[in-house]
Chain A
Amino acid sequence: MYAVELTNVSKAFLGQNQREFLAVNQVDLAVAEGEFFSLLGPSGCGKTTILRMIAGFELPTSGEVLIQGEAMRDRPPFHRPVNTVFQNYALFPHLTVAENVAFGLEMDNLPRPEIEQRVKDAIAQVKLTGLETRRPRKLSGGQQQRVALARALVKQPQVLLFDEPLGALDLKLRKAMQLELKHMQQQVGITFIYVTHDQEEALTMSDRIAVLEDGQVLQVGTPAEIYENPNCRFVADFIGESNFLVGRVIEQHPGGVVVLVDEELPISIPSELDLPVGKVVTLVIRPEKATLHPHQYVDEPSLGGTVSEVVYLGTDTRFVIRLTPKSSIIVRRQNLYRSNLDSFSVGERVQIRIAPDSIRILEEGELSTNQPFAKPELGKRQ
């Protein structure tokens, strides 16, 4: 039995011009018991709407939300075994920290001594002991976040929902909270469903990730599956950084194909897919999976190119290499040694080696797009 299951769920909203639009479009999801499951996508992809349907704030237009096998359609939020940590925390401003945390237990009409004990434990669990009588306004953003977490955790729900809870925190604190949340989830064993637009956050914490776009689930998988084997260009682009080369198959042989990029650059790739000659495909190459070598390098199959840009980023250096007049590729090299920092310079001829099995083939793409990827964003950090 799944902790949470969505079967063919759609949600239509009435737009500005009185026209309906689908915020969530025929989504099927199954979240296992005890799993840390992330809903990842850009803003407006429907991830928050999905979370709100699980919490009960929105009802699906069609389809069914099941929590532990039970259909939730007729269950209002206060009868569902889930609790939410809201994006802006939604702490009750007129109640103290302890009163905020106790609120949910009081709604369950638990005996006073039990409430007090559990509130005390929950506040200790999120390391806020000593701040029980403070009002939320007198707390820092990180502390407010912890109160919101304690308030949801104290109810010991079957499923805990998070709506971009770390969005308002600064980078350092966010990183620390990510690890803490992950540890806490492993400790308490509650199923976490976590909405975020931050791909790094999703990769760091999740057991599995669902990538969404325009109300649809594009891919569901473990962080490694999603990163290494993206099933479409959007996923490859959204998770991490990718180079896209569009070409057409010119040769098919058992166990592999040769793809001609821009009518001049043949690339040989092993593949189990049935790709007939003439089919247009997109090759996905992660910048860190390519290595640069001097021009004379001839040992193994490699691609020749010219360095057109070099950007030093501290931990690594990014090179933009022009392969053909139309296509470039970003190669990322870790700065292992100080000595080779300026080993390649702009205008230099280089060879790029990519392990053939590190190239992912997507059966999509259009040859007419002269720029397989937009201008490379060199400054972009992961």
Chain B
Amino acid sequence: MLKSLPDSKKVDLWIRASGKALLWGMSLVGIFFLYLPIVILVIYSFNESKINAVWRGFTLQWYQSLFEGLTVGSDISNVLIWDALKNSLIVGFISTGVATILGTMIGLAMERFHFRGRTVIEGLLFLPIIIPDITMGIALLVFFSLVFQLLESLTGMRLVLGLPTVIIGHIAFNISYVAVVVRSRIADLDPTLEEAALDLGANEWKSFWRITLPLIYPGILSGALLAFTLSLDDFVITFFTAGVGATTLPVFVYGMIKVSVTPAINAISTIMLFASLIIVVLSFSLQRH
């Protein structure tokens, strides 16, 4: 028969058991707070009632009215949603494209070359990720107005905020994200592979296209998807740099809340949620590949 543990040691077992219970409890509470609102949002996008709080039966009318906006002569607010979506996609694609190219180049340079001021650039690279969006938004706004003033006084040309400034703003924060993701991929890449390519007669250009790029391509793609998601979701920086007529989807939704809160917002949010989800899942699976 096993000798039973003395009471002083039983405390240890109790601590272990309660720790386990606590961990489970905390996890459940965390998941509950994080995801319950989102689940409610999705459910109420199918609510027949105009008021969010009351459930009055299942309907697809909010999704329907959204898509009616595509037809001519429909409700103006539903048309504007599609304009906003178009703007969001334009900003998303262009800023992602530019940020991916620049971010990849930075990631490559940081990982492959040792140069003066590398650590400084490394710090600067993380800045757009860590500083608050609001700071970044204001900084960009100040920057643009200064540049516009300067341009006007020099050339007489008058520029205003619009889609181009939004795109520049998005590129500014997306570069960092792409560079960080791509860099981690390059860090896994054996540098002797590139040496082997040079050794076999490939110049640096060919070695990059035939060896380096195919091997870091999953990293670049997941960086790009991340950038696209961030661009699509961004509100604060867009809000400061958009000006009139360059409304993206998140900014438009924010405007809608101020006017009338209908489940149409839930519908849009649900669509955006799933679009983002798909992209993020895609990005993660590529990263693991």
Other-chain residue from A90, A94, A152, A155 in contact with B192 (beta carbon distance below 8 A) = A90
* Interface stretch of the complex, out of A100-108, A173-181, A235-243: A100-108
**CB–CB B201/A78 < 8 A:** yes
Contact residues on A (Cβ < 8 Å of other chain), bracket: 20 to 34
Closest chain-A Cβ to B153's Cβ sits at a distance in Å of 48
CB contacts under 8 Å to A, within B200-219, are 200-203, 206, 210-211, 214-215
C-alpha spacing A21/B206, complex, angstroms: 34
**CB–CB A76/B198 < 8 A:** yes
**Chain A residue nearest in CB terms to B202:** A107
* Chain A residues whose C-beta falls within 8 Å of the C-beta of B196 in the assembled complex: 84, 86, 90-92
Q: Is A119 an interface residue (CB 8 A)?
A: no
**CB–CB B200/A103 < 8 A:** yes
* Chain A residues whose C-beta falls within 8 Å of the C-beta of B214 in the assembled complex: 94
CB contacts under 8 Å to B, within A51-99, are 55-57, 76-78, 82-84, 86, 88, 90-94
Other-chain residue from A88, A94, A107 in contact with B200 (beta carbon distance below 8 A) = A107
Q: Is B12 an interface residue (CB 8 A)?
A: no
C-alpha spacing A90/B198, complex, angstroms: 12
**CB–CB B203/A155 < 8 A:** no
C-alpha spacing A55/B199, complex, angstroms: 7
**CB–CB A88/B211 < 8 A:** no
* Chain A residues whose C-beta falls within 8 Å of the C-beta of B211 in the assembled complex: 92
**CB–CB A107/B206 < 8 A:** yes
Q: Is B152 an interface residue (CB 8 A)?
A: no
User: Given the known A-B contacts A94-B214, A94-B215, A107-B206, are A83 and B199 also in contact in the complex, defined by CB atoms under 8 Å?
Assistant: yes
Q: Is A47 an interface residue (CB 8 A)?
A: no
**CB–CB B215/A77 < 8 A:** no
**CB–CB B200/A151 < 8 A:** yes
**CB–CB B199/A92 < 8 A:** no
User: Given the known A-B contacts A103-B197, A103-B210, are A93 and B203 also in contact in the complex, defined by CB atoms under 8 Å?
Assistant: no
C-alpha spacing A103/B206, complex, angstroms: 11
**Chain B residue nearest in CB terms to A148:** B196
**CB–CB B195/A77 < 8 A:** yes
**CB–CB A77/B192 < 8 A:** no
Q: Is B127 an interface residue (CB 8 A)?
A: no
**CB–CB A92/B193 < 8 A:** yes
C-alpha spacing A76/B198, complex, angstroms: 8
Tell me which of B190, B192, B196 has the highest count of chain A C-beta atoms within 10 A of its own C-beta.
B196
C-alpha spacing A77/B203, complex, angstroms: 8
Closest chain-A Cβ to B195's Cβ sits at a distance in Å of 6
* Chain B residues whose C-beta falls within 8 Å of the C-beta of A84 in the assembled complex: 195-196, 199
Closest chain-A Cβ to B201's Cβ sits at a distance in Å of 4
**CB–CB A88/B190 < 8 A:** yes
**CB–CB B192/A78 < 8 A:** no
**CB–CB B215/A108 < 8 A:** no
**What would be 5 A-B contacts, judged by CB atoms less than 8 Å apart?**
A76-B203, A84-B195, A86-B195, A107-B202, A108-B201
- Contacts beyond the supplied A78-B198, A92-B193, A155-B201: 16 A-B pairs with Cβ under 8 Å: A57-B195, A57-B198, A77-B195, A78-B199, A78-B203, A83-B200, A86-B192, A86-B195, A90-B193, A92-B211, A93-B193, A103-B202, A107-B201, A107-B202, A107-B206, A152-B199
